[in-house]
Structure 1
């Protein structure tokens, strides 16, 4: 009984931290909270140290790590900075604000479909802020569009974001079939992001008092590392069509990227988001400790008996919307998959699509949103909760509404 009380208490503290982001008076973030809880579970004897490795889903971590290495190759070539510079009209082309918004959504969404959305937002936010300020444009609507497009575009593939990777690994989902099911709703979501931001910020895209020009030298684009990254991406997509496990294919590509004459492996490894990987490992551990108590299985049986099991859109949709904007979509998916054994394939598509799109509702809904806000603040751009919500709420409800109709009409889930 004591072990059960400790496991439940640490689980509750961990997910309260996921919702709050940090604890008042302490400088501990989500990763730190989850890691301390995992350590406490081991030190208290609730979870034997030898069982921790079995609790962690290493194939999921391997895929995340490999994609981060591939993203580092793009970043090291200067590709992200070059994209952001071009999007902001840094070459003197000066596209209209509306056209600039279209390109921002297209670039952010397109890159996020094949690379980790968090890395795309991390790389593009600072340069976008500098270029927009230099043109006298308000960076806030473009940043909202960038994060919204990164989330929406990432919904299209099994490698677009961390929760999709988790779900695909849990259900053994095929890359191309996933794209066929989720690609159209993802495109519709990109259109919703563009339309809503342009509507909400109509007539206000330019700053009332343009600042003095900010010097920003054109970024250097190293073509050979970029060619290597593109070839590696194509090779990865080809590997996904083979029987080779996805984690093995991603790791193979990452290994090739690390063998380089131009980019030091230390540099590439420094671009890996180790905090995110540690967060995943710690959450896997905390959830495993709770699963050992038998409580999640009892709750699942109770929900199923009451007709509230998340294998229907009527339950899945509000569950995705609420959980993604309280504890976050990644922790919510880890928690649900830990309690829900052998979910049907259609429900997994719905879970991936709806939790990803729900992340656009509020600033706390996804890691990409949080990364965007923090990176923008370092560049001197303050984006408020209300600023984001005015766009986030309608774009999320519209995109999720389309996704629900699409999933129901396709017969993937009832």
Structure 2
């Protein structure tokens, strides 16, 4: 009965997921015009990435189910005097974590914590999650390990870690200053008050301890290219302690990522797309810059970096372009999709674009000045 209820809930969730339905329709359309054989579609999916994402979702759910985030939220609220202070603290934490843990892992830590804090004090949840998505896009641009496109371009460039950071530092510094300024304006200075007694929430210490211990082990094994085996270990460990943790994983998000891999790779593989890229004059840095931003809005910044690197090895311009391209439309960065899926408001994408599109314009202007006008 419990399994049937889980399936019914999952089906209801999928029926209400408009973005998932759009991806399915796109898959049908691309299948009609693509020459890629249907049996080869699974090979288009980056399964190690899906395994890594599943493991992170499971571990995050384990920490959240343990009640630890609720208690941490209570503790943090004691130090956050106002809505503005809370927003600046969470946005900064998201940006800093993204420089070392990658943008998606930072969201898996910060967004559940934010949701826990919002349950005990009246804060604009959707707006906070949106600004945290902007923060990880800005912060992760700083280091070669902050996001997948930087890791790819770092390997392509052959430069040192410090040299990569030094090149990205001016862009990230300006973007963070803009983000802090906009955050201070977007959130009020009203005082925070908790509305939920801490004593009512128990802490599942064993589940918390296992989840926290598995985090570094899982990340190390994933980095060593053992993500599928690491995922199996995580699911077995968490399932043996509390199987409901696995039931509450956002399986719909995983399906969204699978479909995105297939759709985007079918799109990039079309002759008309390849011809368009070849005709953009990407040997010219200015053309490469604008192409990187524009392409990110269509296929996301990681595939954009990989595709454009076939036409130009100017990693400095390309790094600026695809990191700026993470702003704008929600498809610009996979981190955007993760944040919006974790937000409780299904219309969060509207709020996201209200803030993200101006950031794309500002980021493009800043990048252009730093690269071509100085």
TM-score range, shorter chain: 0.5 to 0.7
Shift in CA distance, 187/32, structure 1 to aligned 2, threshold 3 Å? farther
Shift in CA distance, 139/282, structure 1 to aligned 2, threshold 3 Å? closer
Partner Cα separation in structure 2 for residue 76 and residue 383 of structure 1: 21
Match of 1:40 among 32, 35, 59: 32
1:163-210 per-residue CA deviation (whole Å, 9 max, x = no partner) reads: 556x54994877947853565244553343222211x226x2549xx9
How far 1:147 sits from its partner (Å)? 1.3
How far 1:374 sits from its partner (Å)? 5.0
Partner Cα separation in structure 2 for residue 30 and residue 395 of structure 1: 25
Shift in CA distance, 391/39, structure 1 to aligned 2, threshold 3 Å? closer
Match of 1:78 among 46, 63, 80: 63
Shift in CA distance, 32/360, structure 1 to aligned 2, threshold 3 Å? same
Partner Cα separation in structure 2 for residue 384 and residue 249 of structure 1: 31
Root mean square deviation of aligned Cα: 4.6
Equivalent residue, structure 2, for 1:303 = 280
1:274-330 per-residue CA deviation (whole Å, 9 max, x = no partner) reads: 421331133213432x23xxx4554445433xxxx2641x334433444444x3534
Equivalent residue, structure 2, for 1:315 = 287
Shift in CA distance, 218/157, structure 1 to aligned 2, threshold 3 Å? farther
The answer to whether structure 1 residue 360 and structure 2 residue 327 are counterparts is: yes
Partner Cα separation in structure 1 for residue 349 and residue 144 of structure 2: 31
Partner Cα separation in structure 1 for residue 47 and residue 338 of structure 2: 22
Matches within 5 A, 1:357-396: 357-361=324-328, 365-373=332-340, 375-378=342-345, 385=350, 388=352, 391-392=355-356, 395-396=359-360
Shift in CA distance, 225/407, structure 1 to aligned 2, threshold 3 Å? farther
Partner Cα separation in structure 2 for residue 32 and residue 161 of structure 1: 27
Equivalent residue, structure 2, for 1:351 = 318
How far 1:152 sits from its partner (Å)? 1.5
Partner Cα separation in structure 2 for residue 67 and residue 127 of structure 1: 21
Kept in 2, the 8 Å contact 1:31–1:279? The answer is: yes
Of 79-88 and 136-145, the range deviating more from structure 2 = 79-88
The answer to whether structure 1 residue 259 and structure 2 residue 233 are counterparts is: yes
Q: Secondary structure at the match of 1:359?
A: coil
Equivalent residue, structure 1, for 2:53 = 68
Higher helix proportion, which one?
2
Match of 2:132 among 146, 165, 188: 146
Equivalent residue, structure 1, for 2:260 = 279
Shift in CA distance, 342/316, structure 1 to aligned 2, threshold 3 Å? closer
Shift in CA distance, 384/281, structure 1 to aligned 2, threshold 3 Å? closer
Q: Secondary structure at the match of 1:180?
A: helix
Equivalences, count: 344
How far 1:153 sits from its partner (Å)? 2.4
Kept in 1, the 8 Å contact 2:289–2:320? The answer is: no
Partner Cα separation in structure 1 for residue 154 and residue 40 of structure 2: 20
1:215-263 per-residue CA deviation (whole Å, 9 max, x = no partner) reads: 6737656234313323554x47xxxxxxxxxxx8442255345335632
Shift in CA distance, 226/358, structure 1 to aligned 2, threshold 3 Å? same
Partner Cα separation in structure 1 for residue 260 and residue 116 of structure 2: 31
Equivalent residue, structure 2, for 1:10 = none
Kept in 2, the 8 Å contact 1:121–1:147? The answer is: yes
Kept in 1, the 8 Å contact 2:70–2:113? The answer is: yes
**Gap runs ≥5 in structure 2:** 1-17
Shift in CA distance, 226/87, structure 1 to aligned 2, threshold 3 Å? closer
**Could you tell me the TM-score, scaled by structure 2's length?**
0.68
